[in-house]
Amino acid sequence: MIRDMFVNPIVSHPGKSLKEKIEEDGMSIKEFAVRTDKPEKTIHAVIKGESSITSDMAIAFESVTGIKASFWIRRQGQYEEFMARERREEEHRKAIDWARKFDYCSMSRMGWVPVCKNVQDRVSNLFSYFKMGSTNAWENYYLAGQLKVSFRASLKNLKDPYNTSAWLRRGVIQAEQIDCLEYNQEILKSLIVEMKQLMVDCPQDYLTQLQFLCKKAGVKLVYTPRLKKVPVNGAMRWVGENPVVQLSDKQKSYDVFWFSFFHEIGHVLLNKKKSIYIEYDDKKSYSEDVITEENNADNFAAKTLLSKEAEDEMVNNRAFSKADIYKYAKKYHTHPSIIVGRLHHIGALPYSALNDLIPHVEICK
């Protein structure tokens, strides 16, 4: 009987139940259309599953069939949810090749996504990780830049935009777990002296202390391990009212760590709020304006760590023994590794020289 179906609704279109009820009551479709004051072609469309039952229809059907409008509305909702999930499953099947381009094993090992072996489960977990409904949505966000917030260096030209996007997403997740006040530019400027002193002192917990100093200015500093083949040194973007500085473990030397940090701080102080800055080695996709912004951030970092005047004085003196490096570091209030790194960079010292003065950095244990 049709009544049993009302107790145990199935995921067929509600037009099937309507057809059975009309027949059970001995009415023609034309008569039912007249009684409900709805066009006959509309009733035919509903019965064929080509049209939805609207709230207005459900109210009219209630008067004629004696079945509550809530039943028709609920059945329509169940059917639409079922069809949406069917479409979702098809989208998941199409996304299998996309999911295989991520280093899912490393992501799961680091706790970014759940451990699983089924590739369709991986698709679902990746959609949840990125908070994306489809691969097209992922492409629009990370490759096409269809947001007010834009990538200043496109991921499209990277060798591995997939794992790079996963690394960037992880930084946002980390940042969302940090509570701090809104960003204050003046406080950040005032804290640069303390940040540099932290670099000079190099205490055992300098990584944690640096995060604390950033937080005082409303800057969220996060350390994110890289995935395979991700060429990223760091990134800066805004999440809500706070700039997020994200550093990778690509570089292991103390001087490069601090240069990357102050490079990203330069972006916070100098550049646009609604842009995402990504620092990586291959700059082929950089446009002229992005190159200018990157150079400005480089210059900010270089001047913060060691002035050009100090660099010129050291080069002119041509005295680069360990004792000289320590003397320069004390005179210019910087860390010996900064001086060695700068001398390496400008070619005044071979890259093999004085590396024992550059501490190893392990930001992601």
Q: How far apart are CA 320 and CA 324, in angstroms?
A: 6
The dihedral built from the CA positions of residue 105, 107, 110 and 116, taken in this order, carries a sign that is negative
List, in sequence order, the alpha helices (H) in 202-244.
206-216
Range(s) of the chain covered by CATH 1.10.260.40: 2-93
Superfamily of domain 2-93: lambda repressor-like DNA-binding domains (1.10.260.40)
Confidence class for position 305, pLDDT limits 50, 70, 90: very high
What pLDDT does residue 287 have?
66
Mean pLDDT of 6-35: 85
What pLDDT does residue 274 have?
67
Nearest alpha carbon to residue 363 among 128, 206, 139, 151: 206
**Token pair 């139940």 in the structure block, residue:** 17
Spacing of C-alpha 308 from chain mean position: 37
Alpha carbon of 27 to those of 17, 24, 50, 148, 246: distances in Å?
Answer: 14, 8, 21, 57, 69
**Token pair 């005082």 in the structure block, residue:** 216
pTM of the full predicted structure?
0.78
Mean pLDDT of 81-87: 85
Q: Report the mean per-residue pLDDT for the chain.
A: 88
Tokens standing for 353? 């020289």
Q: How far apart are CA 349 and CA 354, in angstroms?
A: 9
Q: Is the pLDDT of residue 74 over 60?
A: yes
Task: Give the gyration radius of the chain's Cα atoms.
Answer: 31
Q: How far apart are CA 117 and CA 32, in angstroms?
A: 53
What phi, psi does 150 have (nearest 5°)? -120, 150
Confidence class for position 2, pLDDT limits 50, 70, 90: very low
Largest Cα–Cα distance in the chain? 107
What pLDDT does residue 154 have?
57
Q: Is the pLDDT of residue 8 over 70?
A: no
- Specify the DSSP class assigned to residue 49: T
Q: Is the pLDDT of residue 40 over 90?
A: yes
Residue % of the chain over a pLDDT of 70? 91
Alpha carbon of 118 to those of 130, 165, 199: distances in Å?
Answer: 19, 22, 46
Mean pLDDT of 38-47: 94
Cα–Cα–Cα angle for 111, 117, 120, nearest 5°?
100
